[in-house]
């Protein structure tokens, strides 16, 4: 939520790093000229009755590196790593109507539907969410 400080961002990624250390989450990064320009996470630790499933989270590409296929590459690698973990089903959700929706449809994800008011935009307005799944 806005305002979002650098410290808050670091704190969020510190939690992610802990889960990566524990093997509960995979963190992939894309580099351009030695700098990180994109990232995506694969949540692999799910309840015992869903060992075959993983969740894709926080696909982010820096504004300076967008529209060059970085997100597509990150998603291809996320799927490959999920397969290595023995996963056969992926799930994700995304802001309804955003650019990412086109990306997921292009990459063969199936759109389940929209949940109205699922989350909030940074300014506090309610935000609809679209849920997708993909079989590996």
Q: Which of 68, 96, 131, 133 binds ligand COA (CB under 6 A)?
A: 68
Q: Are 110 and 78 in contact (CB under 8 A)?
A: no
Q: Return the number of the residue (85 or 99) whose C-beta is nearest ligand COA.
A: 99
Q: Which of 26, 43, 100, 127 binds ligand COA (CB under 6 A)?
A: 100
Beta strands in 7-88 (DSSP E): 25-32, 35-43, 53-61
Q: Return the number of the residue (44 or 59) whose C-beta is nearest ligand COA.
A: 59
Q: Are 9 and 49 in contact (CB under 8 A)?
A: no
At residue 76, the 3 state secondary structure works out as helix
Q: Within 10 Å of residue 127's Cβ, how many Cβ atoms?
A: 18
Listing from the earlier edge strand, what are the strands of the sheet with 53-61? Answer: 25-32, 35-43, 53-61, 89-95, 126-135, 110-120
- List Cα–Cα distances, 32 to 9, 26, 63, in angstroms: 21, 20, 13
Q: Return the number of the residue (80 or 86) whose C-beta is nearest ligand COA.
A: 80
98 lines the binding site for ligand COA (CB under 6 A): yes
71 lines the binding site for ligand COA (CB under 6 A): yes
* Binding residues among 33-62 for ligand COA as defined by CB under 6 A: 59-61
Q: Return the number of the residue (81 or 93) whose C-beta is nearest ligand COA.
A: 93
CB of 52 vs ligand COA, minimal distance in Å: 22
How many residues bind to ligand COA according to rule CB under 6 A?
A: 16
| Interface positions with ligand COA (CB under 6 A) | 59-61, 66-72, 94, 98-100, 102-103
């Amino acid at each position: 939520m806005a305002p979002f400080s650098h410290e808050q961002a670091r704190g969020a990624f510190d939690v992610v790093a802990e889960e990566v250390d524990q093997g509960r989450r995979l963190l992939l990064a894309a580099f351009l000229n030695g700098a990180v320009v994109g990232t995506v996470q694969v949540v692999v630790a799910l309840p015992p009755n869903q060992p075959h499933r993983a969740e894709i989270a926080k696909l982010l590409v820096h504004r300076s590196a967008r529209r060059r296929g970085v997100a597509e590459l990150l998603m291809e690698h996320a799927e490959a790593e999920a397969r290595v973990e023995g996963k056969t089903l992926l799930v994700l959700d995304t802001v309804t109507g955003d650019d990412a929706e086109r990306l997921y449809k292009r990459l063969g994800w199936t759109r389940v539907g929209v949940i109205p008011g699922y989350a909030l935009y940074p300014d506090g307005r309610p935000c609809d969410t679209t849920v997708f799944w993909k079989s590996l």
